[in-house]
Chain A
Amino acid sequence: METVPVESGLLLAGVLFMLGLISVLIRRNIIFMLISVEIMLNAAGLAFIVAGSRWAQADGQVMFIFILTMAAAEVSVGLALILQIYHQLKTLDGDMASKMKG
């Protein structure tokens, strides 16, 4: 059975992370920015899985579970913030939320 080289897994994680980074840079809609952060977190988890599979240790999968927990907490708080911003500013434009008030 032929196997996959480690570099291809790491390159896939790198490409996915770059796509998320591009999206978070070019988008103005805050929901799209949140989705992009999810893509980047998932790519980081993929790199952990690749490393854990390379050395045949379960630590990589444990780290992925921690990343998963963090992503779930982050997306719930982020969506609550998006709802508050939309109710206050009546728009999803991230640039409109550049001023702090009180």
Chain B
Amino acid sequence: MHLTFYVASAIAVLSTIMVITRYNLIHALLYLVVSFLAISIVFFVLGAPFVAALEIIVYAGAIVVLIIFVIMMLNLKAEAVEQEREWLTRKIFIGPALLSVVLLAELAYMILQSRTTDFNAPMLDAKAVGLSLYGPYVIGVELSGILLMAGIVGAYHLGRQKKKVVHRFLESTEE
């Protein structure tokens, strides 16, 4: 139990570091899938098997595949990797990374200062989550429905290509 948690956390952190340092977009996405799978194992160890399955299905499945489809539509060439290598220099990297590490150190200090408690490792199955989701949190479910509806309409409206209306006689004279 102990060891599984720490190994999965180490894999999650290492693969996330690989995600943020890759130049090639597809390589970064593959490491992102590994990171999501590791976090899913962490969820399973913490006693949340339903959420672990959701993490794999929705994050590692749906969202990553959606991003891959968009990359395929954009049809990026080898120049994109070169440009990324040009953009991500050490000079740009070092400032934000140092400041963020300082913030993380403060957070870790505050977390570790408090009294240590252990998980009592309860197994919360899908039934408990469903009873809570459709009991006291039913208004949240309805709001999520509205949010998804707005997401669908927004994605359709933004993703629509403007049709170029050219008369066919005008087009033929141009040629």
Which residues of A come within 8 Å of B, CB atoms? 1-12, 14-16, 18-23, 25-29, 31-32, 34-36, 38-39, 42, 46, 49-50, 52-54, 56-62, 64-66, 68-77, 79-84, 86-87, 92
Q: How far is the CA of A23 from the CA of B118 in the complex (A)?
A: 32
User: Does B165 count as interface, using CB distance less than 8 angstroms?
Assistant: no
Main secondary structure of the interface of A (DSSP, over half): helix
Q: What are 11 inter-chain pairs, A to B, with CB distance below 8 A?
A: A5-B116, A7-B116, A9-B5, A16-B39, A26-B92, A53-B122, A58-B129, A72-B148, A73-B150, A80-B154, A92-B74
**Closest 6 pairs (CB-CB, A-B):** A73-B151, A25-B96, A23-B20, A80-B158, A80-B159, A58-B132
Query: Is B97 a contact partner of A26 (Cβ separation < 8 A)?
Result: yes
Q: How far is the CA of A9 from the CA of B111 in the complex (A)?
A: 10
Please give me the residue from chain B that is nearest to A5 by CB atom.
B116
Residues of A within 8 A of B132 (CB): 57-59, 61-62
User: Does B34 count as interface, using CB distance less than 8 angstroms?
Assistant: no
